[in-house]
Amino acid sequence: EHFNAVFAETDIYVTNDLAAKLGTRYEYSSVLQKTNIAPRASLAYKLGKGQASLAYGIFYQKPERGYLLFKSNMEYQRADHYIINYQKISSGYTFRTEVFYKQYYDLTTTSPDTSNNGSGKAKGIEFFWRDKKTLKDVDYWISYSFLDTKRNYLNYPVTLTPNFAARHTASLVVKKFVTKLKTQFNGSYSFATGRPYYRFGYDNDNKYVVTDQGRTINYNNLSFSVNYLPRIGRQDSKTFIVWVFSVTNVLGSKQIFNYNYSYNGSRKEPITPPAGRFIFLGCFLSFGVDRSDDIINSNL
């Protein structure tokens, strides 16, 4: 496949506090033999140390190649994004909130046959707060998101909430570095409300319907990690070492991601992690470029 894309963007400064960004993306797919043009625009206004912005954009995505085996003349899937954002960054503090609405068109459907008859929508709000100042040598952040989304796509018989979507999610991360020990202690807690699960099949009238549905239990994960940096502070060091010890799901909380059904739907088995608790001990080395922060942040 040959996929070509061209993107053009310009900034327009209306005043010292008001700026706009306009852009357009052109795409061509040789497999689909189709082109699309996706306009995008945003408007930002500075409010003291904060900034408020509005954004709109059209985004396209090609169907997965496996579906093209069943129907070659498929369309791009389309998503229209509407976003309102406010962000304030000051010395040691970051606050960000975002409200969004997304409309989906031409989503891939596989029932009764493969086509682009799907659609959907999503709306929600997100909050983020980070504080590096209040507690000495402590960096923590809190995030929360609310998501209300429904789609009619893939093999869904009706419009449903997708099984990957949790309505409420929240997390807390705390990091403390002890200089004398050259060690950083990290703790994190993640929460998500249960996600929906479904089984589809045919009823007695040979109609394709939802034969069983439910919601998984809430997701809880308390994790802890320790990072030891033996070479920190050495100006002439060209080799950077990070020792990592981490325990995921310290409390061993039960986690269920979805359910697998038997052929006739009479039984279902939960899909769970391979282990209730995961313990990791490792040593990461980087040469020339100090990637310690990346390593630590990926092992919180």
User: For residue range 246-290, what is the model confidence (pLDDT) as tens digits?
Assistant: 999 999 999 999 999 999 999 999 999 999 999 999 988 877 665
pTM beyond 0.75, yes or no: yes
Domains of the chain, first to last: 43-297 (2.40.170.20)
Q: How confident is the model at residue 2 (pLDDT cuts 50, 70, 90)?
A: confident
Which H, E and C letters describe the chain, residue by residue?
CCEEEEEEEEEEECCCCEEEEEEEEEEEECCCCEEEEEEEEEEEEEECCEEEEEEEEEEEECCCHHHHCCCCCCCCEEEEEEEEEEEEEECCEEEEEEEEEEEEEEEEECCCCCEEEEEEEEEEEEEEEEECCCCCCEEEEEEEEEEEEEEECECCCCCECCCCCCCEEEEEEEEEEECCCCEEEEEEEEEECCCEEEEEEECCCCCEEEEEEEECCCEEEEEEEEEECCCCCCCCCCEEEEEEEEEECCCCCCCCCEEEECCCCCCEEEECCCCCCEEEEEEEEEECCCCHHHHHHCCC
Tens digits of residue pLDDT in 214-256: 999 999 999 999 998 886 655 566 677 889 999 999 999 999 9
